[in-house]
Structure 1
């Protein structure tokens, strides 16, 4: 009968709530998670834009969910939620820079939460960048397809947006929340775990005082 100890299970600092010490195994890299999340979100954005351009062109806003949402097609030369119109080429270059930065950081990711958040941001940046490159009026000048207006048509309550815009916002919020809770991109925690009772030295000192 073998008496060899069982191999120690890999510890994920994101779950244990502490930074890995020297020699402690790090959690797995999460590049695949970024790629899968980005691919799914990008495909969803692309498909919905194709459907929107095929069915909403030249139509009045389509009311759904009792007026909670309106579908209507606009061509947006600006940033997310129709901001910074007239700066299309600069926004395209900024999107390229964001994509490169996320791809570079993704190689070092060990946090699942961060991987999901960055995957969503990457998909959103790629989705709108594809419009700016391949849609009229030309490369780096293309207008982004937006088609969702909430609470009222024509973006009267909230600017008209698309799936890519939503992915960017959800991903960014997730990353901010992880940062606030002390979860870093490399799977470590910047918050030290609460102390579980007194140390031996503190207990001895207390007993001496009594």
Structure 2
């Protein structure tokens, strides 16, 4: 259980992510016609496909999606091994649980990218192959604000945009894992820093 409990958290989050995505795929209509309001106008379920990275970012070029998927595979493997090393080093449990969440998010979106183009037939029409070109299913929409940005705003001026992008369980898992590490880094790494300071002294 020294190692298993952290990987079990990752597995549980991956299963939750895939269950939610498949439930959306089989039960919701895409876009505005299928949108479901959960809490007023600010939190909705909105089925959309994301060809790029977390929170809708994309990597350009014809091979962008393939490169992104391969990168995700390497990153997923690296995070899984890094988690093993952290457990072995007996770092703070908060870091381990957080990295387990990040690992789950990475794997969750890799599954979409590799398989959904084939099994759900959701690869873009111009993709060279449905394998490794699957689009990620997103559904959680926090509608803080959307509309046209004033022309005078640098870079974004004149564009229609939403203040908060649509995301999924995997994206949320990565975000929460990173946020916990950043928020509690003094608690997680403070003792190690003091140990190094004492040794140097």
TM-score by length of 2: 0.72
Among candidates 37, 61, 77, match of residue 100 of structure 1:
77
Deviation at 1:192, TM superposition (A): 4.8
2:7 maps to 35
The correspondence of residues 108-187 of structure 1 with structure 2, limited to 5 A, is: 108=85, 109=87, 110=90, 111-136=92-117, 137=123, 138-151=130-143, 156-181=162-187, 183=189
Task: Work out the CA distance in 2 between the residues paired with 1:142 and 1:148.
Answer: 19
Query: What is residue 13 of structure 1 aligned with on the other side?
Result: none
Distance 1:98 1:72 in 2: 28
Quote the RMSD (CA, aligned, Å): 2.7
Q: Distance in 2 between matches of 1:180 and 1:97?
A: 29
Distance in 2, matches of 1:60 and 1:152, equals 19
Is the alpha carbon distance of 1:85 and 1:74 closer, same or farther for their aligned partners in structure 2, counting shifts above 3 Å?
farther
Contact 1:114 1:178 in 2 (8 A): no
Aligned partner of 2:66 in structure 1 is: 89
TM-score of the two chains, using structure 1 as the length reference: 0.69
CA distance in 2, matches of 1:124, 1:146: 13
5+ residue gaps, structure 2, are: 118-122, 124-129, 147-160
- CA drift at 1:76: 0.7
Corresponding position of 1:190: 193
Aligned-pair CA distance for 1:178: 4.2
